[in-house]
Amino acid sequence: MKEDSKIYIAGHTGFVGSAILRNLERRGYKNVVVRTHKELDLMHQESVKKFLEEEKPDYVVLSAAKVGGIQANISNPVDFLMDNLIIEYNVIKNSFEVGIENLLFLGSSCIYPKEAPQPLKEEYLLSGYLEPTNEGYAIAKISGLKMCEYYSKQYGLNYISAMPSNLYGMRDNFDLKTSHVMAALIRRFHEAKVSGSQEISIWGSGEQYREFTYIEDLADGIIFLMEHGEKVKGFLNIGCGKDIKIKDLAYKIKDVVGFKGNIIFDKSKPDGMFRKVMDVSKINSLGWHYKVELDEGITKTYRWYLNNC
């Protein structure tokens, strides 16, 4: 990938896409193509095909997706399955049809079976049942990954996929109805602090483990894979390879925010998958490693939330 390579980022206004755009600009890539949702609806097949035919990018990064936390996934499985399948089909299939040879698809760690051994290795895909609370989203992401794998195998293309761990950082979604755990906790602790609440209730036992990767590290890893695409086969995990109990995470966020009340863990609510930490040995062996530790990342994220939300 060269500085003047034309790179299209699908989903550049989103959490992940905006981070990839910032990273590309910092690295000096000068020919990045973007479209807002109003300018290009990725759910509309003919519009996507026309756009790709006109622009003919050298690289496509598919970071656009319908995403949400556990409550949103439980309530709307049809939307999370169908919307993501349509976006993936339109972008991946039409990239192939207009002759684009390089594409990177962004997946999710939820593709792995609920009872898979830890840490999660790439070869554990499709070895067992998925976590029921986000099954629709996971099936869509597996389908996108397999589309890329099959197009590469059948037509000799460089369509690769990256599976990130849980993400957090600037420009995260802090809407309590659709956000993931890190952003939701930051907002809830802040609002509890401001309102003078004496306690805060959190879904689940707090005993489940999650891995968190700072968004700028993910963007760095994505571009690393694009620059080393000839060494990548199929898909690779991207993460820090370390996890933390949700209970311990909650107390870290409490300290950063400065909330003085008590934390109540509501065990009547679902925990989701008990543990989910990625094996990142393959991407590490290519030369990429994360940089931002969790304490630093939480502080940066809360500072961004205060300044922007």
Q: Is the pLDDT of residue 229 over 80?
A: no
State which CATH number among 3.30.300.30, 3.40.50.720, 3.40.1360.10, 3.40.50.410 fits the domain covering 7-170+212-241+277-291.
3.40.50.720
Residue 291: predicted pLDDT: 98
Q: Is the pLDDT of residue 93 over 90?
A: yes
Residue 65: predicted pLDDT: 95
Q: Point out the catalytic residue in the list 8, 59, 112, 137.
A: 137
Burial of residue 101 (CB within 10 Å: 0-12, 13-18, 19+) is middle
228 is in an annotated binding site: no
Q: At what angle do helices 246-257 and 294-308 cross, to 10 degrees?
A: 50
Residue 275: predicted pLDDT: 87
203 is in an annotated binding site: yes
Active site residue 214: no
51 is in an annotated binding site: no
14 is in an annotated binding site: yes
CA distances (Å), origin 123, targets 20, 112, 127, 217, 236: 27, 9, 8, 23, 10
Amino acid at residue number 282:
K
Hey, where are the domains in the chain?
7-170+212-241+277-291
From CA 293, how far away is CA 31, in angstroms rounded?
A: 32
Residue 276: predicted pLDDT: 87
Residue 144: predicted pLDDT: 98
Amino acid at residue number 106:
L
Strands 7-10 and 59-62: parallel
From CA 144, how far away is CA 232, in angstroms rounded?
A: 17
Residue 271: predicted pLDDT: 82
For 284, half-sphere exposure in the C-beta direction (CA atoms, 13 angstrom radius) is 11
Question: CA torsion 303→306→307→309, rounded to 10°?
Answer: 130
Residue 307: predicted pLDDT: 97
pLDDT in tens, 238-273: 999 999 999 999 999 999 999 999 999 999 988 877
270 is in an annotated binding site: no
141 is in an annotated binding site: yes
| Residue 26 φ then ψ, to 5° | -65, -35
Residue 71: predicted pLDDT: 81
232 is in an annotated binding site: no
Residue 215: predicted pLDDT: 97
